[in-house]
Amino acid sequence: MRVDMVPGHSYDLVSSEEMHGHMAGITAKMQEFIRQEVLGVKPVRFTSGVTLGITNPQKVVTEGPNAGYIWSILRISCSAPTAANAAVTIYRANDAGSLDLSAAAAAGALPYQVDFVPSANQNTAKTYSKGQLLLNAGEILVGSFAGAGVVGQPLIITGSAIEVPAEMIGKLLI
């Protein structure tokens, strides 16, 4: 739209229709960008627990991602009974039964240990950055607790994660 501001000089100014059209284009591009960023991303919460028995160490097994998906763990929280020097150790495994948590195995370097949550009696939570702790399809988290005088008390592990299809792993790494 041409406007004469000073006699003999005209300027081209944006009309309200042109401005609305331009802003609608920017808005559409931003909406598409946001849609692509969250496409396939799903928040997940998990909870698993056991009642502690006589044998030590005790195991609690969480669920994991289904075939074709990957989880980025964001938070793990452990609630366990009060016991001297008690803590929950978190492991990543494909099969909880194959994870040997005996004292003999613990003397060596146990594979797949991902974290150690001290002061388990205080519902301690650990947080992770996006992409820091990944679970592939078929992998699970196993919590191990060893403590005396805790028979009949609960051990509960809760957490949250982001789930994406495996082909979209880049969304967890960038």
Q: Compute the distance between CA of residue 115 and CA of residue 88 in angstroms, rounded to an integer.
A: 9
Mode of pairing for the β-strands spanning 2-6 and 9-12: antiparallel
Q: Is the full-model pTM beyond 0.85?
A: no
Residues 6+ apart with CB under 8 A from 114: 90, 91, 92, 133, 141
Domains, the chain, ordered by start: 2-38 (no CATH), 42-173 (2.60.120)
C-alpha distances (whole Å) from 45 to each of 64, 158, 160 are 10, 7, 4
pLDDT category of residue 160 using cuts at 50, 70 and 90: very high
33-88 residue pLDDT tens: 877 777 778 889 998 888 877 766 777 888 889 999 999 999 988 776 665 556 67
